[in-house]
Amino acid sequence: MQRCTCCGRLCHPPALLCPCDHAATEYIELSGRGFVESWTVNRHQWFPGFPPPYLIAFVNPVEDERVRLLTNLVNVDPEEVTQNMAVRVIFDRCIDGEDEVFIPLFEPER
């Protein structure tokens, strides 16, 4: 994620300048650990390749709980999800022609 070079806040989605103090941002490596801020069990098929049900959540990184990442919770039963549940990132590698993307998903910290 991006971090402000001045105030140290994380910034997501990425921005040219920190929305807080307008200073430059830089990408830093995070621990990959976070907490569940909110979640929903999607039960409607919106897109091909996304058969319901699946879990969508906001996760706050432990480094700065003021920011959040929209993501999917995986390897967890919907009934087991709780507020502030500790989670850890796993990356889903997606290939589309020449394009390679690593999608950050989260599973419970074990």
For another protein, the binding residues (CB under 8 A) are 12-13, 15, 19, 37-44, 46-47, 50, 54, 56-58, 66-72, 78, 83, 94, 96, 99, 101, 103
Q: Considering the complex, what minimum distance in angstroms separates the CB of residue 78 from another protein?
A: 8
Q: Considering the complex, what minimum distance in angstroms separates the CB of residue 30 from another protein?
A: 16
Q: Considering the complex, what minimum distance in angstroms separates the CB of residue 102 from another protein?
A: 10
- For the chain, report the end-to-end CA distance as a whole number of angstroms: 24
Nearer to another protein, 26 or 52 (CB): 52
Give 43's contacts (C-beta < 8 A, 6+ positions apart). 52, 53
What does the block give as tokens for 97?
A: 């022609």
How far apart are alpha carbons 56 and 54 in whole angstroms?
Answer: 7
